[in-house]
Structure 1
Amino acid sequence: MKSGTERTTGGFHEVVVASRSTREAEFGNVLAMLTFSALRDREILAPVLGTVLDAVVAMDRGGVIVGWNDQAAATFGWSASEAEGRKLEDLIVPVRHRDAHRTGLARMLAGGEPRVLNRRIEISALRKDGDEIPVELAITRADGCDGEVFVGFLRDISKRKSDEVRLKRQATETRVLFEIASLASEADSFEAALEAALKGICELSGWPVGHAFVVPDPGTQLVSSDIWIERNPGEADDLKQATNCGGFVMGRGLPGTVLMTAEPVWVADTDRSGNFPRKGLGFRSAFGFPLKAQGSVIAVLEFFCEDPQQPDPDLLLTVRTLGEQAGRVFERKRTEDRQKLLLGELNHRVKNTMAIVKAVIAQTFRSARSSEETETIINSRLDAIARAHELLTAERWTKASMTDIIHAALESCGASPDRVRIDGRDFNVRAETAVTISLAIHELCTNAFKYGALSSEGGSVQIGWTLTDESPPKFAFEWVERGGPTVMAPKASGFGSRLLRSGLGGLGGTVDLAYEPQGFRMNFVAPLPAVPSIAGDEVAKD
């Protein structure tokens, strides 16, 4: 920037400006009419300063305000009568900048190189109400009859800065959302997609720590994904430990509140919050927001900052949008993961079922006396397998009700309900055992019709089981036939007995077949991998 030439004319100090912007020329035109004495004469100066778009503040060599226009009053809240005669640093210089202000003024008065004269800078200024605002500042020195003065032109650039921040955030938001969508689509798993989201939001918000909870069905409890983003490795170790021990459910703490409201939640000061169990761990503010799919919360993302932070409405609006948009992407990813798992499980189940079918067919051909009998036996056994598959399909191949399995198997062999008593507390059977149990019940029922209690008009079958409370729990099953012909132990093991011993025994239990004269009895005891999911109370059906 060229400084121009100077001359004194008619008692006024003029600055002739060459090659300056329109705004700088405006400064020069005002300065051409300013002298120290003129600043004292409001009648002469007021019309000039009133036309300037910027706040104009003049200061003498001692740092005392000697000029203050209407725009300065509007910008900083001090009237001219309140401002003039007071130290500039006491009115509009923020406390943290006052030492630098005094040092710079002293350096210039001592003949040192000025650092802020004749150029524009951006700095913070203080208002009467205590708020700080960003301003653009240009300072020029003028010589008057009573000494040297410094004239500053200040423009409030709060809106410009706000617009810049908004535009930057919008650009970052668009980029982050695109990256999250891309990474989520390309990620190998739902967890990898969550990690991509956490990184993007940490970048967007500038907050140093992020973490994700997942929400399994039925949606009242949160489970930590163990996915954490840290700006500095190890800075959230205490927070991680407290999170793992937190037991977060609906309504508890920040994540529980997000789950309950399905809305973003901001905690301005965690130490003052009555519902923030993880306080005192180095993070004073936090916010969280939900990822939703089809109206339900599928995950909660939370973020932490070391210092108290007042809610940022723009950021909350942004993360709400991101949560809604990204939730759909993540739901697609989670659905794909589930489908892959289901296909893998289905492939495994089909192979196992085909192995059972092959064994059924092979053994039936060996033991059947005619082709008609072979066809009948094979059809009935395959029907038992199919009914078990129907039950599993209804539960997405995860489980099947024990009573449903038994009733389906009995129905497939034609057992009359009034001849079979079922007594046991219902529970869910794992998919991998449902087919085996169904086929075993069918085989027991078929043998009872051919040789046992159901072959006689007065015979009956009692089916019962119990579940123990020990760990791991045990399942004790009993099949008892009474009222049929006198029972004699077979001379050789048939397919039925082999199926019962190998099939049920393959579930990790023990099988006891007792050919008592009054009726056949089978006992089966096996450990369960976990406490069963109880489907109802004690049942007794005839």
Structure 2
Amino acid sequence: MGANLRRLRWVCTSGCADAIKCKSLMLNFLQPVLETALDAVVAMAPDGTVAAWNAVAEQVFGWTEAEVLGRPLADLIIPQQHREAHRAGLERYNRTGRETILNRRIEITAVDRAGREFPVELSITTAPDRLLFIGFLRDITARREAEARLQRQAREAQLLFEVASLATSTNSFEDALRACLNAICDLTGWPLGHALLLIGTELVSMSVWHDDTKGAADALREATEQIRFTSGVGLPGMVLAAGEPIWIADAAEASQFPRKGLGLGAAFGFPLKSEGRIIAVLEFFTYDRVRPDPELMLVVRTLGEQVGRVLERKRTEDHQELLLHELNHRVKNMLSIVQSVAMQTFKGAAPREAIRTFETRLGALAAAHDLLIAENWEAASLQEIVSKAGLGCGADRDRIRTEGPELRLHARAAVSLSLALHELCTNAVKYGALSTEGGRIHIAWHIVHDGTRLCLVWQEQGGPAVQPPQARGFGSRMIERALAAELGGKVELHFLPEGLRCVIEAPLPAEDR
């Protein structure tokens, strides 16, 4: 095309004074471009009329060349809202030569013969002596649709991730419902969303709403509260009856949409299910009439499945909690029976002190169970274990100093350590640092060996002078052997003159490292 235009300039400057003839010559030279260009090519005269129109332009805009030649271009392909600006720009260029869009590639909209407005990519250049404006136009509808589809898919993936993440982290069914409403309204651009919970055979309106235009849903909310949504009644009832998403393209004309007269155009709803049963229905509204969107229905179905899992998990956790409390109750009952049997067994045959020791050991075991039940029998805080062991043997809290990082021990280790600490504390009250007024106990723990092992040190101070025992009693054997075995580590008792020192070292669970 550049060679043709250079040749036109030579022709026009070699003595031709007739603008009409020059224009005709230009069109003749442009003919190969018009015939071979893959884009729509439109030539416009300075007065705004069509001077040339290729075959691709006929396909794109629906007008034949014979129908458009000599007619104002603005009346043919320029949208109504842009025509005045087009005429003003053309007049300014003819008068001043000042241009704003020549020799650039821009994206605008055009209209075809049927009045359809669609996006086009446009570049405009001028022929020599400004006798013609030549525009190259490409319909980019498919490209825009592909870009919009990619953006929507990316947004869908993001929203699915956000709702799925919330579904795995929250125990609040209402929070999950609200997040789902917000996500779908964000995805669709629809302003109103609402949740209804299935109670018995009726869908009951919840206080969970999405309202983009604060207050716009007031009339809808009031109308919703007046209706009993049972199977088949209104949009929620239709969803309940079908067990599938329902779309209403024109709410004003739908016979099964009782909330008419509120200016709503379209609506859709879908069920939330848990273990295959409907537990709630989400419904959405917009003020425009909108045809069903099958792709959107697939997305909202997936979102609904994620929210339904929140309730499934909550029910499972509630059931586990009930079982744990029932187990704890039975264990404590069993300990009471053991205590009663022990008392009957020891009656008349054992000193009262032995019975009291046995009872306190059972009490320490029960306290450890209570602590673990509060933590769903998964793990317990080391600080809590130490505190309960001291209080359980009647020690003054001010005389036991503790220090160490926050750590959690698994259930088996927690019970064993609780019993061992109780034995140490009981021994300190009877014979050690807590048996005298000025005695103190320091319990400290830290992590050693590159964070893989726990070291806990029990140190008594200010009590009676300590001498190593001639024989090891039950308590000592339990601490040194049983505790070491349970923890998978080692326990050392040092009977130092200034006070008993117990060093416990054990591997940390992998999750605590």
- TM-score by length of structure 1 reads 0.54
Q: Which residue of 1 aligns with 2:90?
A: 105
Give the secondary-structure state (helix, strand or coil) at the position aligned to 2:252.
helix
Identity within the alignment, %: 45
Q: Give per-residue Cα distances to partners, 1:93-137, cap 9 Å, x unaligned.
A: 112222222222222223264222221111111111221111011
Aligned pairs for 1:358-377 within 5 A: none
Q: Which residue of 2 aligns with 1:202?
A: 185
Q: Which residue of 1 aligns with 2:368?
A: none
The alignment status of 1:178 with 2:161, answered yes or no, reads yes
Q: Which one of 271, 294, 297 corresponds to residue 319 of structure 1?
A: 297
Q: 2:74 is aligned with what amino acid?
A: E
Q: Give per-residue Cα distances to partners, 1:363-410, cap 9 Å, x unaligned.
A: xxxxxxxxxxxxxxxxxxxxxxxxxxxxxxxxxxxxxxxxxxxxxxxx
How many Å separate the matches in 2 of 1:320 and 1:331? 15
Deviates more, 1:278-287 or 1:343-352: 343-352
For the Cα contact (< 8 Å) 2:167–2:309, is it kept in 1? no
The alignment status of 1:268 with 2:237, answered yes or no, reads no
For the Cα contact (< 8 Å) 1:35–1:142, is it kept in 2? no
Give the drift of 1:45: 4.0
Give the drift of 1:354: 12
How many Å separate the matches in 2 of 1:65 and 1:225? 62
CA distance 1:123–1:334, shift in 2 (3 Å): same
Give the drift of 1:211: 1.5
How many Å separate the matches in 1 of 2:266 and 2:100? 39
For the Cα contact (< 8 Å) 2:45–2:131, is it kept in 1? yes
Structure with the higher fraction of residues in helix conformation: 2
Q: Which residue of 2 aligns with 1:168?
A: 151
CA distance 1:214–1:114, shift in 2 (3 Å): farther
Aligned pairs for 1:330-369 within 5 A: 330-342=307-319
Q: Which residue of 2 aligns with 1:280?
A: 261
Q: Which residue of 1 aligns with 2:206?
A: 225
The alignment status of 1:256 with 2:233, answered yes or no, reads no
Q: 1:199 is aligned with what amino acid?
A: N
Q: Which one of 271, 278, 281 corresponds to residue 290 of structure 1?
A: 271
How many Å separate the matches in 2 of 1:298 and 1:177? 20
For the Cα contact (< 8 Å) 2:198–2:204, is it kept in 1? yes
Q: Which residue of 1 aligns with 2:121?
A: 136
Aligned pair count? 325
Q: Which residue of 1 aligns with 2:280?
A: 299
Q: Give per-residue Cα distances to partners, 1:395-446, cap 9 Å, x unaligned.
A: xxxxxxxxxxxxxxxxxxxxxxxxxxxxxxxxxxxxxxxxxxxxxxxxxxxx
Give the secondary-structure state (helix, strand or coil) at the position aligned to 1:110.
helix
- Aligned-pair RMSD on alpha carbons? 3.3
Q: 1:172 is aligned with what amino acid?
A: R
Q: 1:338 is aligned with what amino acid?
A: R
5+ long unaligned stretches in structure 1? 14-33, 358-542
Q: 2:214 is aligned with what amino acid?
A: P
How many Å separate the matches in 2 of 1:327 and 1:284? 24
For the Cα contact (< 8 Å) 2:270–2:300, is it kept in 1? no
Give the drift of 1:235: 2.0
CA distance 1:287–1:328, shift in 2 (3 Å): closer
Q: Which residue of 2 aligns with 1:59?
A: 44
How many Å separate the matches in 2 of 1:79 and 1:276? 48
Q: Which residue of 2 aligns with 1:37?
A: 24
CA distance 1:327–1:231, shift in 2 (3 Å): closer
Q: Which one of 88, 95, 108 corresponds to residue 123 of structure 1?
A: 108
Give the drift of 1:71: 0.7
Q: Which one of 56, 64, 68 corresponds to residue 79 of structure 1?
A: 64
CA distance 1:140–1:321, shift in 2 (3 Å): same
How many Å separate the matches in 1 of 2:230 and 2:100? 59
For the Cα contact (< 8 Å) 2:8–2:26, is it kept in 1? no
How many Å separate the matches in 1 of 2:329 and 2:262? 52
Give the secondary-structure state (helix, strand or coil) at the position aligned to 2:236.
helix
CA distance 1:137–1:235, shift in 2 (3 Å): same
Q: Which residue of 1 aligns with 2:16?
A: none
Give the secondary-structure state (helix, strand or coil) at the position aligned to 1:140.
strand
How many Å separate the matches in 1 of 2:48 and 2:249? 39
For the Cα contact (< 8 Å) 1:184–1:196, is it kept in 2? no
Q: Which residue of 2 aligns with 1:212?
A: 195
Give the drift of 1:155: 0.3
For the Cα contact (< 8 Å) 2:196–2:205, is it kept in 1? yes
CA distance 1:354–1:293, shift in 2 (3 Å): closer
5+ long unaligned stretches in structure 2? 14-20, 335-513
How many Å separate the matches in 1 of 2:325 and 2:179? 32
